[in-house]
Structure 1
């Protein structure tokens, strides 16, 4: 059974599920990162930390890619006429994030921060399908991470 906790932040309520035995950032870090990236107050979010097997299965099912990935964003889509504060779910694969951090010469904490912020921006409607969208989204990520004391993740 995964560990689960709730963190209340001024702008977002986070449910954290840890379906892994080790790894992933502390709830305090998540609180800080979510607060920095959240544009709309009063929303809720599910953050699930998983192993490579669960990430691969979800990535295959929802994106048609049979491999684990660093972060998956699942926006919550309300039926017409229903009002709810749930923004969506983020699924972050700890082994992939940690391997990427090592390969890119980044701290594990900084890369986790980047993945949380990246995923939250997706849940808030940002994307990187076109060059212009990618430039705007990356600029937001860089600025939020800079405000938190992290280096530009794209350098």
Structure 2
């Protein structure tokens, strides 16, 4: 049985939820961080990956709640956080939109990159790598953009 609710597809046979035309399914959450932060992080990731373009209208709170399988109040809190940092804007009687300010999106991209870099460096340190060894390893395994790693195909 499949139901459509605006732009949301809910398939009860496979228990999947996705946006029509989207390439992602129901979101996965962990217990180590509040759900609203994880919802916020997922929306930021989607914006940074280009799933939502600058100036594009976002799904409604209820649609996001169905997609994420969480309470609408949780989604509202996540969206309020994103609005407070300027990544999204509310247009009265129209909905929520991704900001059209490129600098705000670039700042979010830089912050996300820094967080990922810190996580990576901590993981490498836990394996016993120094910063210099990590850099050497990265340089030795560097993959050109758009090309696959030949060694992984062997």
**Which TM-score bucket, shorter chain as reference?**
under 0.3
> TM (normalized to structure 2)?
0.26
Higher relative CO (CA 8 A, sep ≥ 6), structure 1 or 2? 1
More helix per residue: 1 or 2? 2
Larger radius of gyration: 2
> TM (normalized to structure 1)?
0.26
